[in-house]
Amino acid sequence: MSTQPKPITKDNNNSSILLANDNWKVDYSKAKKVVSPNYKTGRPVPIRGLVLHGTAGGGTIEWFLNPASKVSSHYVVEQDGKVTQMVSETDVAWHAGVVSPTSILADKGNPNSFCIGIEFSRNKTNDNIMPDAQILSGLDLVNDIRGRYPHIQIYFHDEISIGRICPGPNFPKTLFRT
Protein backbone atom coordinates (compact mmCIF):
# COMPACT_ATOMS: atom_id res chain seq x y z
CA MET A 1 0.00 0.00 0.00
CA SER A 2 0.96 3.58 -0.39
CA THR A 3 2.75 5.24 2.47
CA GLN A 4 0.45 8.27 2.12
CA PRO A 5 -2.44 8.66 4.56
CA LYS A 6 -5.68 7.39 3.07
CA PRO A 7 -8.99 8.90 4.14
CA ILE A 8 -12.08 6.75 4.54
CA THR A 9 -15.31 7.64 2.79
CA LYS A 10 -18.68 5.96 2.27
CA ASP A 11 -20.07 4.70 -1.04
CA ASN A 12 -23.74 4.66 -2.10
CA ASN A 13 -24.34 1.55 0.01
CA ASN A 14 -22.81 3.23 3.08
CA SER A 15 -19.84 0.85 2.89
CA SER A 16 -16.40 2.13 3.82
CA ILE A 17 -13.99 2.76 0.96
CA LEU A 18 -10.28 3.35 1.45
CA LEU A 19 -9.17 6.25 -0.74
CA ALA A 20 -5.65 6.69 -2.09
CA ASN A 21 -3.75 9.95 -2.11
CA ASP A 22 -4.87 11.75 -5.23
CA ASN A 23 -2.63 14.83 -5.05
CA TRP A 24 -1.22 14.29 -8.53
CA LYS A 25 -2.12 15.17 -12.10
CA VAL A 26 -2.38 12.70 -14.96
CA ASP A 27 0.87 12.25 -16.86
CA TYR A 28 -0.94 11.53 -20.14
CA SER A 29 -3.34 14.36 -20.96
CA LYS A 30 -5.91 12.07 -22.61
CA ALA A 31 -6.26 9.86 -19.54
CA LYS A 32 -9.06 9.89 -17.00
CA LYS A 33 -7.79 9.79 -13.44
CA VAL A 34 -9.09 7.01 -11.17
CA VAL A 35 -6.75 6.48 -8.21
CA SER A 36 -5.84 2.98 -7.03
CA PRO A 37 -4.86 2.52 -3.38
CA ASN A 38 -2.37 -0.17 -4.43
CA TYR A 39 1.01 1.47 -4.99
CA LYS A 40 4.17 2.60 -3.25
CA THR A 41 4.90 6.31 -3.04
CA GLY A 42 8.01 7.39 -4.93
CA ARG A 43 10.51 5.39 -6.98
CA PRO A 44 13.84 4.07 -5.73
CA VAL A 45 15.37 4.23 -9.24
CA PRO A 46 14.65 6.12 -12.48
CA ILE A 47 12.05 4.87 -14.97
CA ARG A 48 13.67 2.83 -17.72
CA GLY A 49 11.03 0.32 -18.76
CA LEU A 50 7.43 -0.05 -19.86
CA VAL A 51 5.55 -3.34 -19.33
CA LEU A 52 2.54 -4.13 -21.53
CA HIS A 53 -0.13 -6.49 -20.18
CA GLY A 54 -3.45 -8.06 -21.13
CA THR A 55 -6.17 -8.01 -18.46
CA ALA A 56 -7.51 -11.56 -19.01
CA GLY A 57 -11.09 -10.35 -18.59
CA GLY A 58 -13.08 -7.31 -17.59
CA GLY A 59 -13.43 -5.48 -14.29
CA THR A 60 -9.80 -4.38 -14.18
CA ILE A 61 -10.39 -0.88 -12.85
CA GLU A 62 -12.67 -2.18 -10.08
CA TRP A 63 -10.07 -4.85 -9.20
CA PHE A 64 -7.30 -2.24 -9.03
CA LEU A 65 -9.50 -0.13 -6.72
CA ASN A 66 -9.82 -3.02 -4.27
CA PRO A 67 -7.11 -2.82 -1.57
CA ALA A 68 -7.38 -6.60 -1.06
CA SER A 69 -6.24 -7.23 -4.66
CA LYS A 70 -2.79 -5.75 -3.95
CA VAL A 71 -2.36 -5.09 -7.69
CA SER A 72 -2.42 -2.03 -9.90
CA SER A 73 -1.02 -0.57 -13.07
CA HIS A 74 -0.30 2.98 -14.11
CA TYR A 75 -2.71 2.81 -17.05
CA VAL A 76 -5.63 0.77 -18.37
CA VAL A 77 -6.52 0.99 -22.08
CA GLU A 78 -10.10 -0.12 -22.75
CA GLN A 79 -11.26 -1.72 -25.99
CA ASP A 80 -13.01 1.52 -27.00
CA GLY A 81 -9.68 3.36 -26.69
CA LYS A 82 -10.40 5.15 -23.41
CA VAL A 83 -7.38 5.44 -21.14
CA THR A 84 -7.51 5.51 -17.36
CA GLN A 85 -4.51 6.44 -15.22
CA MET A 86 -4.61 4.76 -11.81
CA VAL A 87 -1.14 5.46 -10.39
CA SER A 88 1.15 8.43 -10.95
CA GLU A 89 4.23 7.60 -12.99
CA THR A 90 6.29 8.99 -10.10
CA ASP A 91 5.00 6.13 -7.92
CA VAL A 92 5.45 2.35 -8.07
CA ALA A 93 2.42 0.39 -9.32
CA TRP A 94 2.18 -3.33 -8.54
CA HIS A 95 1.87 -4.97 -11.96
CA ALA A 96 4.93 -7.03 -12.94
CA GLY A 97 4.77 -9.76 -10.28
CA VAL A 98 7.45 -12.39 -9.91
CA VAL A 99 10.42 -12.31 -12.28
CA SER A 100 11.26 -15.73 -13.72
CA PRO A 101 14.90 -16.86 -13.44
CA THR A 102 15.11 -17.08 -17.26
CA SER A 103 13.51 -13.66 -17.81
CA ILE A 104 15.28 -10.88 -19.67
CA LEU A 105 14.97 -8.95 -16.39
CA ALA A 106 16.30 -11.70 -14.11
CA ASP A 107 18.74 -10.30 -11.52
CA LYS A 108 17.87 -6.71 -12.47
CA GLY A 109 15.73 -5.95 -9.42
CA ASN A 110 11.99 -5.56 -9.09
CA PRO A 111 10.65 -4.30 -12.45
CA ASN A 112 7.83 -2.47 -10.68
CA SER A 113 10.51 -0.14 -9.30
CA PHE A 114 11.73 0.99 -12.72
CA CYS A 115 8.81 0.26 -15.08
CA ILE A 116 5.53 1.88 -16.00
CA GLY A 117 2.70 -0.64 -16.44
CA ILE A 118 -0.06 -0.52 -19.07
CA GLU A 119 -2.96 -2.98 -19.03
CA PHE A 120 -4.93 -3.58 -22.22
CA SER A 121 -8.48 -4.78 -21.67
CA ARG A 122 -8.76 -8.23 -23.25
CA ASN A 123 -10.97 -11.30 -23.01
CA LYS A 124 -10.45 -13.99 -20.34
CA THR A 125 -7.92 -15.89 -22.43
CA ASN A 126 -6.10 -12.75 -23.64
CA ASP A 127 -6.47 -13.89 -27.24
CA ASN A 128 -9.09 -11.58 -28.76
CA ILE A 129 -8.28 -9.47 -31.81
CA MET A 130 -7.82 -6.00 -30.38
CA PRO A 131 -10.01 -3.23 -31.86
CA ASP A 132 -8.27 -0.53 -33.89
CA ALA A 133 -9.42 2.14 -31.42
CA GLN A 134 -7.63 0.33 -28.59
CA ILE A 135 -4.44 -0.24 -30.59
CA LEU A 136 -4.28 3.37 -31.80
CA SER A 137 -4.96 4.73 -28.32
CA GLY A 138 -2.36 2.41 -26.81
CA LEU A 139 0.23 3.44 -29.39
CA ASP A 140 -0.49 7.11 -28.68
CA LEU A 141 0.00 6.49 -24.95
CA VAL A 142 3.23 4.54 -25.49
CA ASN A 143 4.59 7.24 -27.82
CA ASP A 144 3.67 9.92 -25.28
CA ILE A 145 5.59 8.01 -22.59
CA ARG A 146 8.54 7.55 -24.98
CA GLY A 147 8.57 11.32 -25.46
CA ARG A 148 9.04 11.79 -21.71
CA TYR A 149 11.49 8.89 -21.31
CA PRO A 150 13.42 8.67 -24.63
CA HIS A 151 15.53 5.63 -23.66
CA ILE A 152 12.67 3.57 -22.22
CA GLN A 153 12.63 -0.16 -23.07
CA ILE A 154 9.39 -1.95 -24.00
CA TYR A 155 8.71 -5.30 -22.31
CA PHE A 156 5.78 -7.68 -22.46
CA HIS A 157 4.67 -9.34 -19.24
CA ASP A 158 5.33 -12.82 -20.65
CA GLU A 159 9.01 -11.82 -21.00
CA ILE A 160 9.19 -11.12 -17.27
CA SER A 161 6.99 -13.90 -15.92
CA ILE A 162 7.82 -16.76 -18.30
CA GLY A 163 4.83 -18.99 -19.04
CA ARG A 164 2.22 -16.28 -18.52
CA ILE A 165 -0.19 -15.64 -21.36
CA CYS A 166 0.13 -11.89 -21.07
CA PRO A 167 -0.39 -9.75 -23.04
CA GLY A 168 -1.44 -12.85 -24.99
CA PRO A 169 -1.89 -14.09 -28.54
CA ASN A 170 -2.97 -11.58 -31.18
CA PHE A 171 -1.35 -8.72 -29.27
CA PRO A 172 0.42 -6.57 -31.91
CA LYS A 173 3.84 -6.75 -30.26
CA THR A 174 5.74 -5.55 -33.32
CA LEU A 175 3.68 -2.36 -33.52
CA PHE A 176 4.40 -1.51 -29.89
CA ARG A 177 8.09 -2.35 -29.98
CA THR A 178 8.96 -0.24 -33.04
Query: How much is the pLDDT for 67?
Result: 96
User: Nearest Cα to 86, choosing from 96, 100, 71, 98?
Assistant: 71
Of 15, 130, 27, which is closest to residue 87 (Cα–Cα)?
A: 27
Per-residue pLDDT, 21: 66
Q: Which residues in the chain land under pLDDT 70?
A: 1-21
Pairing mode, strands 83-85 and 75-77: antiparallel
Contact of 63 with 71, CB cutoff 8 Å: yes
Give which of 63, 88, 60 is closest to 74, Cα–Cα. Answer: 88
**Full set of structural domains in the chain with CATH:** 32-39+47-176 (3.40.80.10)
Q: What is the pLDDT of residues 2-27, one digit of tens each?
A: 444 344 444 444 444 445 567 899 99
Give the pLDDT confidence score for residue 10 in this predicted structure: 41
pLDDT at res. 22: 77
Q: Is the whole model's pTM more than 0.85, yes or no?
A: yes
Q: What is the pLDDT of residue 1?
A: 45
